[in-house]
Chains A and B, each alone.
Chain A
Amino acid sequence: MNVDVLVAGAGPAGLAAAIELRKLGVADVVVVDREHQAGGIPRHCAHSGYGIRDLHRLMTGPAYAQHYRGAASAAGVTLRTGTTLTGWPATGCELATDAGAAPARQAGTITATLTSPAGVENVHAGAVLLATGCRERPRAARLVPGSRPAGVMTTGELQQRVYLHGQRLAGRAVIVGAEHVSFSAMLTLLHAGAEVTALVTDQPWHQSFAAFRLAARLRWRVPVWTGTAVAGIAGRDGVSAVLLRDDRDGSVRSVPCELVVFTGDWIPDHELARLAGAALDPGTRGPAVDTTLSTSVPGMFAAGNLIHAAETADVAALSGRHAAAHVAAYLAGQAAPAGQVALAGQAAPAGQAGGRCVPVPVMVAGPLRWISPNAISPVSPQPPGGRFVLRSAAFAGRARLQVRQDGRLLTSAHARLVPGRSIRLDGRWARHVDPAGGAVQVAVL
């Protein structure tokens, strides 16, 4: 099968991108999703809080997912659910060797392998957009020691159990984490019939909104234990207790419970990107992308929580839309004679050596963990929604961010740093980046 654009992942980012591609006149846009229903994570986030920046209204996750499904069909997007993109056949096998092996490019296309109940097939796409989202690090990846009983899960599993499969949960739960998603897990647990003993975080403060924290304490009487690390899990068949270490005095206590939910600590689902040989950004752990959301593999783009784990769905959707414009431009450029690769209305800037432009990397210094996108494209230096997103590893009430290139100050801005929470940085400075200069550095003063 030949398509113009193959989108991997029908979450907010993938669907928003596909809709936009159709609006831009791209004929054949196919979105595949391995789940039986399109919509991504919002399908099982029953609470409100979706749609503000992209749709300018407030809705629940399932309603938001429903909206995007409907809009995609209306826009003439081909949606194929229950369909997994398993790899890139030209890399030899799905588990390719080291980065460097690139997917097949027959006459400017990328070949992908799909598996579904209809069979196994290879699709040749003019361009590919990866929008595979992210997941929470499970207990094992966090190296939490102890026995390995049932009853330990992530928010993703919890919400699917409760909202997609109607399972009830009983017993006492301890939630690991105290960021937005942790409070969301709390609501799900209470809804499913469990009791929530506490939210625990090794940070000195919770990382969500004061209102969530207050409601947890006053309305549901759920405390947040700060400065508290999970030192182990006990139990034979099911969980019997979680061991908590007080970081202030090192003391360890055992808190009896039947459920432990690990929340937050996101990691992009970067398998397809890596199998394709795309370079990873060491900070985000997603594929490295420039401001056009192009990866290091020509014709392969990435958007959504794959490149910034995790932002809200509206931010993911806006990044999908942004990617769509550049995917369309890429396809137009492929069709046009060489040397005319530029976005409509934009003059080809300097630094575009022989039609090929080299993005300028953007690096962060501690306590910042990452920035996304992580390179400036000289062709189009504007990030999605006009803003870069960043993450910090430490709290700071009023920090001063400075952006420099080769010592030259490009901008400075104030920001409140909260680990696990989004920091947004206006991206107008990116226009002033010297395409021939060194890496851009973002630091906290």
Chain B
Amino acid sequence: MTAPGSPPEPVADVLIVGAGVVGTAIARTLARYDLDCVIADAGNDVGTGTTKANTAILHTGFDAVPGSLESRLVRRGAELLRDYAQQAGIPLERTGALLVAWSADQHAEFAGIEDKARHNGYLAIRYVPAAELYAREPHLAPGALGALEIPDESIICPWTTPLAYATEAVRAGVRLRLRTRVLGVTAADGWHEVSTNSGSMRCRWLVNAAGLESDRIDAMLGGGGFTIAPRRGELIVFDKLARPLVGAILLPVPTPQTKGVLVAPTVYGNVLLGPTAQDVFDRGDTATTGTGLSSLLAAGRKIMPDLVREEVTATYAGLRAATEHRDYQIRVDSSRRYACVGGIRSTGLTASLGIAEYVADQLAEAGLELRERDGRRPKPPVLPYIGQAGRRPYQDGARIAADPAYGDIVCHCERVSRGEIRDALASPLPPADLDGLRRRTRATNGRCQGFFCAARVASLMGAPGGARADRDARVLA
């Protein structure tokens, strides 16, 4: 037995539970202070929860509930992330959005939507008559009456965003513990005793950023103010050859029940159709369903029939951490040295840096001492660029001249070179499996889904019986 008040193990200043986009953003924000900070996640990588499977839009918050915390943090988060993305090489495109009315009733709602946008501090919204709409989006199905343009809605990469945050945090000294599931938290004198599947941990402050499990972690700390009711969203990714069909994000007029099905380009050069909205019980149930996919195709046919005629590259589903409340569940409790950052349902990617800034402020107010480290502030890492709009290594003659591995294309559909795969495997946060490599490089994510390259990619990753990365080129040459 250890005497109370003198823990035998080092006590971390802060433990963040959950390395999704929210947890990693908080880690990255706290990293510049003189703190011993740990971030733990049950998954084998950062961003394996809802963060990896969403619609990937950097929202303006024009349609948020005015006056809500979400409205404020989405606006602030978008501003911060737009800037951060540019520094860190996170693919981002300002495509703008067009919210399209297909009926007189929907058209009549425009005034209310514009009004709401203004209440949310978004003034650039503007009406686009049908003729201009069709001039800009000629592949739109006939019958649209007009649209509202939200010129600042953007598309962003949901995979490199948490990766950049985590890389920055880890470089600044934050300890990342993957495959570490928090099972229970007990209060000790001045610290939390946290049990996990891989031993116990101690921390003075605990930040709950556990996404779909945030209510359960909250309950471990005596909370209980909310319950997560996962709402599944299924999406279809269309072939890159469909990309020229779509200019802006095409939004429907929302109903009180749902934001509806949208069509949006992705930063990888594909087109998304989705999401559905279905309440499910199982917090791990990210399976797609026959009814979900066919309902999307039916919706897609009404929005853009040409799109639905193109090949499908992928389908997936993500779970929104919805709760019985309409707003984020963010609270900091100084007596328990605990921050709850839960119920971040459908805007967390956008709001992440805004949430992190807000949580850091709240923590400071609650008594966590935030002293900037001596020396330089951590800087965003520069991640390999995996977007479609900018220049990729295979297009870059000078880069290939300097290192021919960038001219050795492995994944043909996505044009991912051996150099990029090698770099990802050697990065500070290397992928644990093929899915991790896909999120870092796009390898095998394309239309053939591995018909041509999965075998070689597996070899480069060191599959049993396969050649290793360095040997591979020679073996096949």
User: In this complex, what residue of A is CB-closest to B419?
Assistant: A117
Q: Which residues of A lie under 8 Å from residue B401 when comparing CB positions?
A: 119
Contact of B452 among A135, A234, A271 (CB under 8 A): A135
User: In this complex, what residue of B is CB-closest to A269?
Assistant: B448
B314 beta carbon closer than 8 Å to chain A: yes
The answer on a CB contact under 8 Å between B312 and A141 is: yes
Q: Number of A residues contacting the other chain (C-beta, 8 Å)?
A: 48
Q: Number of B residues contacting the other chain (C-beta, 8 Å)?
A: 56
B111 beta carbon closer than 8 Å to chain A: no
The answer on a CB contact under 8 Å between B415 and A84 is: yes
The answer on a CB contact under 8 Å between B458 and A167 is: yes
Q: Which residues of A lie under 8 Å from residue B121 when comparing CB positions?
A: none
The answer on a CB contact under 8 Å between A165 and B466 is: yes
Q: Select the residue from B287, B394, B405, B464 with max chain A CB neighbours within 10 A.
A: B287
A405 beta carbon closer than 8 Å to chain B: no
A116 beta carbon closer than 8 Å to chain B: yes
Q: Select the residue from B237, B284, B454, B455 with max chain A CB neighbours within 10 A.
A: B455
Smallest Cβ distance from A389 to chain B, in angstroms?
Answer: 22
**Selected interface stretch from A144-152, A194-202, A320-328, A355-363:** A144-152
A308 beta carbon closer than 8 Å to chain B: no
Smallest Cβ distance from B388 to chain A, in angstroms?
Answer: 7
The answer on a CB contact under 8 Å between A140 and B409 is: no
The answer on a CB contact under 8 Å between B455 and A164 is: yes
The answer on a CB contact under 8 Å between B415 and A136 is: no
The answer on a CB contact under 8 Å between A84 and B396 is: no
Q: What 0/1 pattern do residues 235 to 265 of A give for CB contact below 8 A with B?
A: 0100000000000000000000000000000
Q: How far is the CA of A121 from the CA of B396 in the complex (A)?
A: 10
Q: How far is the CA of A165 from the CA of B315 in the complex (A)?
A: 28
A60 beta carbon closer than 8 Å to chain B: no
B63 beta carbon closer than 8 Å to chain A: no
Among B357-402, those with CB < 8 Å from A are 388, 394-397, 400-401
Contact of B396 among A34, A120, A147, A166 (CB under 8 A): A120
Q: How far is the CA of A262 from the CA of B457 in the complex (A)?
A: 19
The answer on a CB contact under 8 Å between B240 and A166 is: no
The answer on a CB contact under 8 Å between B313 and A140 is: yes
Among B236-257, those with CB < 8 Å from A are 237, 240-241, 243-244
Contact of B287 among A82, A119, A145, A167 (CB under 8 A): A145
Smallest Cβ distance from B308 to chain A, in angstroms?
Answer: 11
Smallest Cβ distance from A149 to chain B, in angstroms?
Answer: 10
Q: Which residues of B lie under 8 Å from residue A143 when comparing CB positions?
A: 290, 293-294, 312, 315
A168 beta carbon closer than 8 Å to chain B: yes
Q: How far is the CA of A267 from the CA of B244 in the complex (A)?
A: 21
Q: How far is the CA of A115 from the CA of B415 in the complex (A)?
A: 10
B260 beta carbon closer than 8 Å to chain A: no
The answer on a CB contact under 8 Å between A165 and B456 is: yes
Q: Which residues of B lie under 8 Å from residue A236 when comparing CB positions?
A: 284
Q: A97-B244, A143-B315, A145-B287 are in contact. Are A115 and B451 (CB under 8 A)?
A: no
Q: Which residues of B lie under 8 Å from residue A406 when comparing CB positions?
A: none
The answer on a CB contact under 8 Å between B455 and A167 is: yes
User: In this complex, what residue of B is CB-closest to A81?
Assistant: B477
Smallest Cβ distance from B81 to chain A, in angstroms?
Answer: 26
A232 beta carbon closer than 8 Å to chain B: yes
Q: How far is the CA of A141 from the CA of B446 in the complex (A)?
A: 11
Contact of B477 among A36, A119, A137 (CB under 8 A): A36
Smallest Cβ distance from B472 to chain A, in angstroms?
Answer: 9
Q: A86-B395, A274-B241 are in contact. Are A138 and B412 (CB under 8 A)?
A: no
Q: What 0/1 pattern do residues 73 to 95 of A give for CB contact below 8 A with B?
A: 00000000010101000000001
A156 beta carbon closer than 8 Å to chain B: yes
The answer on a CB contact under 8 Å between A120 and B286 is: no
Q: A98-B244, A115-B394, A117-B408 are in contact. Are A153 and B450 (CB under 8 A)?
A: yes
B467 beta carbon closer than 8 Å to chain A: yes
Smallest Cβ distance from B138 to chain A, in angstroms?
Answer: 9
Among B419-467, those with CB < 8 Å from A are 433-434, 447-452, 454-456, 458-459, 463-467
Contact of B400 among A119, A153, A160, A234 (CB under 8 A): A119
B316 beta carbon closer than 8 Å to chain A: yes
A180 beta carbon closer than 8 Å to chain B: no
Smallest Cβ distance from A158 to chain B, in angstroms?
Answer: 8
The answer on a CB contact under 8 Å between A168 and B464 is: yes
The answer on a CB contact under 8 Å between A36 and B476 is: yes
The answer on a CB contact under 8 Å between B465 and A166 is: yes
Among A194-214, those with CB < 8 Å from B are none
Q: Which residues of A lie under 8 Å from residue B467 when comparing CB positions?
A: 165
The answer on a CB contact under 8 Å between A119 and B449 is: no
Smallest Cβ distance from A78 to chain B, in angstroms?
Answer: 18
A331 beta carbon closer than 8 Å to chain B: no
Smallest Cβ distance from A268 to chain B, in angstroms?
Answer: 11
Smallest Cβ distance from A342 to chain B, in angstroms?
Answer: 36
Q: Select the residue from B292, B388, B408, B452 with max chain A CB neighbours within 10 A.
A: B452
The answer on a CB contact under 8 Å between A82 and B465 is: no
The answer on a CB contact under 8 Å between A138 and B449 is: yes
Q: Which residues of B lie under 8 Å from residue A156 when comparing CB positions?
A: 448, 451-452
Smallest Cβ distance from A166 to chain B, in angstroms?
Answer: 5
Q: Which residues of A lie under 8 Å from residue B89 when comparing CB positions?
A: none
B91 beta carbon closer than 8 Å to chain A: no
Q: How far is the CA of A274 from the CA of B293 in the complex (A)?
A: 27
The answer on a CB contact under 8 Å between B412 and A34 is: yes
Q: Which residues of A lie under 8 Å from residue B315 when comparing CB positions?
A: 140, 143, 145
A37 beta carbon closer than 8 Å to chain B: yes
The answer on a CB contact under 8 Å between A147 and B244 is: no
A348 beta carbon closer than 8 Å to chain B: no
**15 pairs of residues in contact across A and B, judged by CB atoms under 8 Å:** A36-B473, A98-B244, A116-B408, A135-B451, A141-B311, A143-B315, A145-B287, A145-B289, A145-B315, A150-B434, A157-B454, A164-B456, A166-B466, A167-B455, A274-B241
Interface residues of A (CB under 8 A from B): 34, 36-37, 82, 84, 86, 95-98, 115-121, 135-141, 143, 145-148, 150, 153-154, 156-157, 160-161, 164-168, 231-232, 234, 236, 267, 271, 274
Cβ-closest 4 pairs across A and B: A138-B449, A117-B404, A160-B455, A156-B451
Given contacts A95-B388, A150-B434, A157-B455, 8 further A-B contacts (CB under 8 A): A95-B244, A116-B407, A117-B407, A120-B396, A147-B286, A148-B286, A157-B454, A164-B456
